[in-house]
Structure 1
């Protein structure tokens, strides 16, 4: 065999060997991607629309690829059943109440199945379990939403353009402020007034702060009124006494009111010509008769005294009056003697 043919055979052998190695490596790579060489379980999900999902697409759980789509077939009247191969090692993390939805790998990437949710109160999935599905937004719905947002943005841009045009033309309050110098001056003046009012508010706040600090100064009357319970109780007692005094004053006023009312009633009775006092106070003739009667009584009293004196000098009654005078004189002498007898006894009893 010639040297050229030997080199040719060696070259062909090398290329064949490289092809075999690449083929075997591709098988392992594709098998690894398709999870052909790992233990797996099958779970099922039924969708109304798979949105272009194909067999061999990936299955994700919490952002991690855990399996592939094995088979897609129609189910019922218009639904699609998707069989998925899931790694047995991830079985413990997927619960029977988990949800499956159709998503995409990126904005325009391949369709994938995403498993979400699930709580530890439910057991883990088993081979042949069927998961609940959640409808996802399709690309058409997303495009419709984007189109609607674009239309809204176009309307907002148009409105903003009209607003800027009105401002430039001096329409509205803001436009007048921007274009009319008088309105701008008035606006500046109002802002200066507002600034002065703000300064006054700051000063007032400072004054209130100083007053509050004085209230917190120990030993001051305000601080004692706020913090000292003794002063507070004293003020409370004083207020109670003042209230009692006001109550007493109210009672006195009520008494005076009743007294004035009684006086008014008495004056009404005195002014009444049907009562005796009213007649005496108002009727002059009756007053003159009463005056005459009193004078007559006085005169009769004087005459009676004279008659009594004359009776004492009468010989028939003279003895009676003498006996009476002697008895009175004897009684005075006896009482004087008793007093004189008591005087030595009281003097002797003194030390």
Structure 2
């Protein structure tokens, strides 16, 4: 074999050795990334939708890569079961109440499985455990929400644009205030009136404070009325007396009213020509007849007295009148002696 052939064989052997070394290094690197040469255990999770998750995608726990997705298969009624290889060293931090969700590695990166560790009140997971899952927002849902927000923002912008246009055209109260000088002047006058009213309110408040201070000053009538119960009771009694006097006055007025009514009725009767008193008061002929009758009665009484005197002088009746005079004198004497001691 020539020297040239030996050199060629050595070069080829070197390149082959380098290729083998590179291949082995690549296998170890890829195996390290896929956790192929790390002791691991199996966890399972059932999702309603994995959103494009693939075998070999990473599994994260608290922001640290702890495993990879080993297998994806359908489970039950339109569900997907995901088997994961998890590093044995992270087993002590993952609890049985841990929660798995589907997320993205960045905004548009590969899908990943994110595990939340759970609480220390639960034991740590075992090989082959199935942990619970929760649904996460997909990128489509996020985009739909953003689109809806954009539509709402566009409507708000259009409404604001229309509002500003109406204000510029002087529509509405605010637009009139901004564009009409007369309305603006009236608004200024209203503000000045409000300021005056505010000043008057302040003055009134000061007057009320002064009045309250006077009420708190001892010796004044207002203070006595507010604080002295004796004065209050006297005023109450006076008010009760005034009320009684008012009631008495009302009853007196009612009595006077009845008396006035009675007098009116009597006056009507006196003025009535059909009644005897009305005839006497109103009929002159009857009054003349009454005077004549009275005059005749007086003359008759005079004549009767004269006849009685003549009868006393008659000898037939003289004894009777003498006995009567003696009886009267005896009666007077008896009464006089009974009066004297």
Q: Would you say 1:149 and 2:149 are equivalent positions?
A: yes
Give the CA deviation at 1:252.
1.9
Relative distance call for 1:51 and 1:204 in structure 2 (3 A) is farther
Moved more, 191-200 or 174-183: 174-183
Q: Would you say 1:112 and 2:109 are equivalent positions?
A: no
Give the CA deviation at 1:251.
1.9
Which residue does the alignment assign to 1:281?
A: 281
Which residue does the alignment assign to 2:312?
A: 312
Relative distance call for 1:206 and 1:78 in structure 2 (3 A) is farther
Q: Aligned runs of 1:221-240 on 2, under 5 Å?
A: 221-240=221-240
Which residue does the alignment assign to 2:242?
A: 242
Helix, strand or coil at the partner of 1:153: helix
CA contact (8 A) 2:73 2:80 kept: yes
Distance (whole Å) between structure 1 residues aligned to residue 291 and residue 301 of structure 2? 15
Helix, strand or coil at the partner of 2:114: strand
Structure 1: gaps of 5 or more residues: 1-18, 343-351
Helix, strand or coil at the partner of 1:292: helix
* TM-score normalised by the chain length of structure 1: 0.62
Give the CA deviation at 1:203.
1.8
Structure 2: gaps of 5 or more residues: 1-24
CA contact (8 A) 2:100 2:131 kept: no
Helix, strand or coil at the partner of 1:246: helix
Helix, strand or coil at the partner of 1:308: helix
Distance (whole Å) between structure 2 residues aligned to residue 90 and residue 174 of structure 1? 63
Give the CA deviation at 1:302.
1.9
Distance (whole Å) between structure 2 residues aligned to residue 207 and residue 87 of structure 1? 81
Relative distance call for 1:139 and 1:297 in structure 2 (3 A) is farther
Give the CA deviation at 1:222.
3.2
Give the CA deviation at 1:71.
7.5
Which residue does the alignment assign to 2:258?
A: 258
Which residue does the alignment assign to 1:323?
A: 323
Helix, strand or coil at the partner of 2:272: coil
Helix, strand or coil at the partner of 2:314: coil
Which residue does the alignment assign to 1:271?
A: 271
Distance (whole Å) between structure 1 residues aligned to residue 268 and residue 39 of structure 2? 125
Helix, strand or coil at the partner of 2:49: coil
Give the CA deviation at 1:312.
1.7
Helix, strand or coil at the partner of 1:222: helix
Deviations 1:80-129 (A, max 9, x none): 4578999788869x6xxx9x684758984955366999xx9xx9999979
Relative distance call for 1:126 and 1:213 in structure 2 (3 A) is farther
Q: Would you say 1:293 and 2:268 are equivalent positions?
A: no
Q: Would you say 1:215 and 2:215 are equivalent positions?
A: yes
CA contact (8 A) 1:70 1:83 kept: yes
CA contact (8 A) 2:91 2:124 kept: no
Helix, strand or coil at the partner of 1:74: strand
Distance (whole Å) between structure 2 residues aligned to residue 35 and residue 305 of structure 1? 172
Helix, strand or coil at the partner of 2:316: coil
Q: Aligned runs of 1:113-152 on 2, under 5 Å?
A: 137-152=137-152
* TM-score normalised by the chain length of structure 2: 0.64
Distance (whole Å) between structure 2 residues aligned to residue 158 and residue 179 of structure 1? 22
Relative distance call for 1:156 and 1:89 in structure 2 (3 A) is closer
Give the CA deviation at 1:304.
1.5
Helix, strand or coil at the partner of 1:49: coil
Q: CA RMSD in A?
A: 4.9
CA contact (8 A) 2:71 2:83 kept: yes
Distance (whole Å) between structure 2 residues aligned to residue 257 and residue 115 of structure 1? 104
CA contact (8 A) 2:60 2:115 kept: yes
